[in-house]
Structure formats: structure tokens, C-alpha cells
Amino acid sequence: MFQKNLKLQNAFILLASYVFYGWWDWRFLGLIITSSAVDYWCGLRLGYVIAQAPSSRADEGSVAISIDERENKTETASSFLLIVTRNPKFYLTLSILFNLGLLGFFKYFNFFIESATDFINLIGFQAHASTLNLILPVGISFYTFQTMSYTIDVYRGKMEATKDPVAFFAFVAFFPQLVAGPIERASNLLPQFFKRREFEYQQGSDGMKLILWGLFKKMVIADNCALVVNPIFENYQTASGLELMMGAILFAFQIYGDFSGYSDIAIGVAKLFGFELMTNFRTPYFSRDIAEFWRRWHISLSTWFRDYVYIPLGGSRVPKAKAIRNIFIVFFVSGFWHGANWTFIAWGGIHAALFIPIFLIGKNRAHLHEGEHMVPSFKEIFQMGSTFLLVCIAWVFFRADTVGEAWGYLKGIVFHPLISGVRLSSYLLSIVLISILICLEWIMKGEQVFNFRKPIIRYSSYSAIIVLILFYGVFFNPQDFIYFQF
């Protein structure tokens, strides 16, 4: 009876996920279904091949397959195919190439064509780009990485291949976090589809609190900041230095409220269904250096690159020169993952340049086990302020349409008149709302939201947040989630 109920639950989640994704554009359901099918099959084959060669470890190289001595060791097409298809690396490579090929075609095809054309024209030859009018499937950057984690972990022997297609397909398409994360590991989320899930009041209560907090960050903080940020970036040539500074700062809170707000909503909705997703943000703007920032910002992506790119390259257990190379590769790929634009690569390069000095002096693991004091010291305030400033500078490249516009924006902060035509009142509301966000997050320390002991304070907080959400939802134009474009 338990297994029957579990299968029905998983089937319902799969159906709901496909309806959710197909509501955007049903034609792209074929992509996520195909991606799921390929990795499900690769996982089955990996499990079978590894089981057939218990004396060989998948991460130590290929499985040795002997050829019939009676054929005098003459290689034939069939024997070669037999060797290849009994090699776990074949199925791992097939999975990675398929998923990266899918992602590369839809997300980067036009970028590579246009970049190659620009380079050819730059060296004196004439070339004309021929691009496709491709629509980027929403969430493709997230679910391709999520499903790749499955085949990689099966190959590494960290988990067994699943034989339940409904559970696996539901894991890939799990609708709360499908289109903007967190990017869940198969080793964490997939086993939860095989466990008894019953509604629990405390889990449901925690989920509703996270949903409420996520809606506040998105609708009240991020969408309000967008109303100020968008005009500034669109008219940066004529904006004053102070306006440009405010634009960069407010965009930092816009993207944080937008992305972390979605993550909170996704984690909260998952709790209502009995699932536990990983934390994706831990108050990143309280970081005291760039290394700490990346332990707090988009944790699911940064740890994915750490475990599946950085460590396999050798991580930090290699000579310094190679370790620096590995850091640059990770930040380069991280920037490129966000979009087919040189601005994202520049953004990743800036963070690499800021991270490497900390790594070289051995401080990249500083503050690892430290918690914030209720009243920060002057040193901590300075560290957090300077780190936030550097992050804001990098965000300008992330937000700008081109690298040239980003440089023009930053130069405008320095060389444009400081306060020409600035109306401070236009920023007052955003500053007040951001101050509320900062105070609440400092008090909560990024842990349980609304965890106030006194009921009057707790319910007053609920009421105030709900009123603000309803007010902004009615009187302001809602903005799309920024990370839907990735």
C-alpha cells in the first residue's frame, strides 16, 4: 500500500511539473523529456556495466575487455563496439555531451557564430553572420546541470542507478525549482522520491514562512528596485554620479531579492510536498571577503562547479600555478553559464581576480566557522562594506548589455557631476525597504525566518509583510524573475 501511494504521489508530481513547464511553451516539453530519457538510460547502463566489472573502479579508467583469442586479436567493428559499450566512460561521456550539446545549441549557438564573425572581420577579412532565431528554453541551464549530477554520481559510485522512470523524470522536472533552482544534486533530491512523504504541520509552517519571505524579497524589494534601476542603466550617459552609484547598489539588492526570493519560494513549496531542498543563499551581503561571498551566494551552483569542475581539475591540491588556472576556469565557466554575452565572462573574470589574492595568502577559508555578532565590530563593518562595494562594481558588468556600456557606466560614476539633477526622494522608499530587509536578515542570521519567540512580534511581522506584498502586487507592475533568462 505504501509503495502504491508513493508511486501515485510521484506520478502526480511529474504530471504537475510537466503542466507547469508546458504552460510556458508546451513545445519545449520534448527537450526536458528527451534529456531525462537519455540520462535515465545512461544511468541504467552505467549501473549494469559497473556491476559487471566489480574489480574495476569507474573513476580509475576504462574497463578492460578481452577480445576472443581465436580471432588472433584482430580488431573488428563489432569487437570495438563491444569494448566501447562496456566502458562506463562511454555512457558518462554520452550523457555530458548530449546535455552540454543541448544547452550549447539553444544558449550559445548565435554567440559563437557572431563572435567568430567579429573576429574574422577584425583581422581584415569579410564575413557575415548567419544566425538562427532561437528561443532559450526557460530553466534549461538548471535542469541540464541537475540531471548531469545524476550520471556523474552514478559513474563515481556515489549512488545507485534508479530503475523507476517516474521517480527519475519527476526528479528532473520537479516544478518548484525547475526553472531557476536551486540546482539539486541527484544524491540529495532523488532518494526523497522513494521515502514516505506525509504532511507535517511544522514542515508546512516552515514552508509557508519561506514562501512569504520569498514573496517579500521579490515583490517588495526586487520589483521596487527595478523601477529605479532600469531607467538609470538605460540612460547612464546622462545620469549623475550619485544616480549611477545608487543604480549599482539598488541593482545588487534587486538581483538578490529576485533570485534568493525565488529560491525561498521554491524551497518553501517543496516543503509543502514533503521535500527538503538545499539552501541557496545565506545572507551573502554580510560577507567579509569575496571567498565568503561565494560560500553564501547561489550555493547550489558554486558547489556544483566545485565538485564537478574544480576538484576534478585538481582543486587546490596542485601547484599554485595550476590552482590559479583552476580558479580562473571555474569563474570563467560560471560567468559563461549565466549567458551568451561577454559581460558575463567579464563578471566571472572580475570575481576570479578578486578571489585569487585571497587564495594566495591562504585566507580563502577565513570566517568559515564564524557567526556574526549581534553588534558587528568596526573591522567587520569595513570588511562587509568593502566586499559589497567590489560586488556592486562586478554587478555593473552583469547588468550592462555590453562590456563597453559597463565601462561607460563605471566611468560615469567618477567623471559625471555628482549630484546634478538628482532627486533623493526618488530613492527614499527603496532605501527604507532595503534597510528593513537588512535588519531582518541580520536578526535572523539567514536561518529560520520569522523565528521570533513572542507571538505578538511574530504575527505582527506576518501582517506587515502580507500588507506590503499585497500593496506592491496591486499598485506596482510586477517584474519577471531575472534568472528566468538563464
Q: DSSP string spanning 64-98?
A: P-PPPGGGTT---HHHHHHHHHT-HHHHHHHHHHH
pLDDT score recorded for residue 476 = 72
Q: What is the pLDDT of residues 364-390, one digit of tens each?
A: 776 655 555 677 888 889 999 999 999
pLDDT score recorded for residue 77 = 56
Is 298 annotated in the active site? no
Query: From the DSSP assignment, how many helices (H) and strands (E) are in the chain?
Result: 18, 0
Pick the closest to residue 293 from 247, 265, 334 (CA basis): 334
pLDDT score recorded for residue 222 = 92
Please give the model's pTM, rounded to 2 decimal places.
0.87
Residue with cell 559487471: 52
Contact 31, 137 (CB under 8 A): yes
pLDDT score recorded for residue 131 = 57
What single-letter DSSP state applies at residue 136? Answer: P
pLDDT score recorded for residue 80 = 56
What does R_g of the chain's alpha carbons equal in angstroms?
25
* Alpha helices for 174-286 (secondary structure H): 186-189, 201-215, 223-234, 241-272
What contacts 217, CB < 8 A, 6 or more positions away?
256, 257, 258, 260, 261, 264, 437
Longest dimension (CA), the chain: 89
Q: What is the pLDDT of residues 244-273, one digit of tens each?
A: 999 999 999 999 999 999 999 999 999 999
Q: Which of 128, 298, 338, 367 is catalytic?
A: 338
Please count the other Cβ atoms lying within 10 Å of the Cβ belonging to residue 337.
18
Cell of 45: 547502463
Q: Which parts of the chain sit beneath pLDDT 70? A: 1-4, 54-85, 110-134, 366-373, 420-426, 445-449, 452, 485-486
